[in-house]
Every structure is written in C-alpha cells, then in structure tokens.
Amino acid sequence: MAQSLNTQAPISIRINPNVDAKTHPYISTGLKENKFGVDIDDAINLYQQANNSKYLNVQGLDCHIGSQLTEVSPFLDALDKVLELVDQLNQQGISIAHLDLGGGVGIRYDDEKTIDIKAYVEAMIAKVGNIEIILEPGRSIVGNAGVFITKVEFLKQNSEHSFAIIDGAMNDLLRPSFYNAYHQVLPVDENASGIQASWDLVGPICETGDFLAKGRELSLSQGDYLALMSAGAYGFTMSSNYNSRPRVAEVMVSGEQHHLVRERETIQDLFEKENIIND
C-alpha cells in the first residue's frame, strides 16, 4: 500500500513473547499456541526486512499478553524479553522509538487480588529507560464503573434448583456464559424482602447456557431489580441481538444526574438493514 501511494509508512510489529499471562485461556494472547503476534524468534528477520524497505519506517514494537491479569510478574517477564529484542535490534542499527505494551491490568470482580499500579509502573520505568511507553488501559478504567440492571420476571423452584428468570440475558452480558465469569449481584432496593434461597439468575433465551449468575444467596420477589456489578468492560461491546433481542439502553450517571447515552433498540431496528427480494 505504501509503495502504491509512493510514501513511507510508519510501522510497529506485534511480538508474541511466549509468556503465560496466568489468566483465562480465552483471553491469554502471549503464548506460542495463541494466534496473536509474530514469534519473537522470527522478529529480527522481519525488522531487518522492514528496515531495508524504502516504503517502511520502523517506529516501535508492540506486545500484549492477555487480559484480566492479576499478577505483575507476567508483564515484567514479557517486558524483559521485549527489551532483549530491542537490544538486539539496536546492535543492528534498528532503533525502536516506542514500546506499546498493551493493556491487561485486571480488576476485582469477586475476591481477586489486583495489581499495584504504582509498583507496576515504577518497575516498568526502571527497566525501559528512555523509550516511549504506550499502554492501553481499558477494563482497569471502566470495568467497575458500569452496572447492569435487570428485573426479576418470574421465580421458579424445584427439588434441585431455585431459578430467578430475569429480563436480562446472555446476549446482554455474555461474560458469565462465555467465560463462566463472576459478577457480584446486589438488590437495587436494599430493603427488599422475598423468598430467601440460593438462586440461579437465568435469562429468557432458549438455551441452558443463558445464565448471569448461579448459586447466589438472595431474598427475591417477582418484580425486584438486581444490579450486576463490574459490567463496564466487555458488557455492551460483547452484546448481540441473539434470539431476536434488541440491545439495552445505556445510561450515564454523574452525581445525581443521569443521561441517556444510547437508546434502547427496538424490534424495528433488528430488521432495518434487511432487504426483501422481489420476484
């Protein structure tokens, strides 16, 4: 593309350092078995090719080993490997202006320990020196800023389980079904009373995998509202229209004010992009 435009394109190459992020395997991205990045052992050859091209301008080196990390050591292990590669490139006259070390800093959903950000940054700066650092903090900023509100539609109990059928579903908040992820559940009305039991919170979608929480000790009544905490990251972005369900509204709360920032979808919205084939 740069050649066709007769220009020089600034580039960075994403490296796979083969470091275990110690997180859920679906969101681990820094091992050789993962699809992401260039094998670190092959990187020098690629950088040499890029450096020899008049259409490419080597700028940086990228690395992202996974998401929801709760330990600093994988970050620093990956950084050590990246800096070793930077030294090798410098010896060949290829200078790296910046390191994009990605994101991945985890948050507390339940009782996880979390990373001491200050200690992590200080350890990183001590290793990196004068190279510009780019970080991509996503979940760690917005994860615990979002709450998913759902309503109890029906209560159903049998000899084995107590089910609370809610109006929210896996299409709205996929993480529990997809990762078996935990989200704390709190009653919106702290004084609500109802049937005390160990409840499974299940949605109206027609498959057993449609659940948002299991085995939660709650006192519930039909019509209660529940808050699923820590839904600010990978909530709406992973939502879908599965089972022909319109996606929910998003409301921004600031102090005592609230603002509708995304309107609730309608059934009409689901069909808006479809075309009828005429005979």
Residues acting as catalytic residues: 206
What are the DSSP calls for 180-230, one per residue?
-----EEESSTT---EEEEEEEE-SSSSTT-EEEEEEEEEE-TT-EEEE-S
Distance CA 26, CA 238 (A): 14
243: left (phi over 0), alpha (psi -120 to 50) or beta: left
Instruction: Specify which residues 197 forms β-bridges with.
Output: 218
* 3-class state of residue 1 by DSSP: coil
* 3-class state of residue 251 by DSSP: strand
* 3-class state of residue 70 by DSSP: coil
66: left (phi over 0), alpha (psi -120 to 50) or beta: left
Query: What interhelical angle do 117-128 and 73-91 show, nearest 10?
Result: 20
H-run or E-run covering 124 = helix 117-128
Six token digits for residue 229: 């905490």
Phi first, then psi, for residue 100 (nearest 5°) are -100, 105
